[in-house]
Amino acid sequence: MGKLSGLLVFLLVVHSVSSLKCYVCSSTSNEHCNRNAEECRAPLDTCMTTVDILGQVKAIVKQCSSSRTCTGASGTASLDASGNGNEVTCCSSNLCNLSTATTTQLCTWLLSLSLCLLILLIQQDG
């Protein structure tokens, strides 16, 4: 029984460490949204942020989601030429949905660009 008890304790520790936490809210302010974090329960494995835009009005919804649901929603999201519509972003690390969808996409793009420049600099030195 000792080995079984040890295995059970190990699995509980691993499960608690690997639980995803997301910001969860419904607001017009990103700052207000970032006040409430929640631990996602299986099968919810993704933090999903939806930003609906109509003129100067933004509605932000942050929630735990399944990766399949979030990917599907992001595939159908779009903005028109005036900037109206919706944006959806998906991420899967703890509290990764801190920013609004637009900011998250911009940060990801800038991080990728920085990484590419770093690789080019390393290759030139070598």
CATH number reported for the structural domain that contains residue 85 in this entry: 2.10.60.10
Stretch 110-118: mean pLDDT: 63
Stretch 33-53: mean pLDDT: 95
Q: Is residue 11 part of a domain?
A: no
Average pLDDT, the chain: 81
Q: Is residue 107 part of a domain?
A: yes
The pLDDT of residue 38 is above 50: yes
Residue whose token pair is 């949204």: 33
Residue whose token pair is 């017009």: 28
Residue 54 in tokens: 């109509």
First to last CA, the chain: 57
pTM: 0.65
Show Cβ contacts of residue 37 under 8 Å, excluding neighbours closer than 6 positions: 21, 22, 23, 24, 95
Q: Is 71 helix (H, G, I), strand (E, B) or coil?
A: helix
The pLDDT of residue 5 is above 60: no
* Count: domains in the chain: 1
Within 10 A of 118 (CB to CB), how many other CB atoms are there? Answer: 10
Q: Tell me the residue type at 113.
A: L
Query: In terms of residue numbers, what domain contains 58?
Result: 19-125
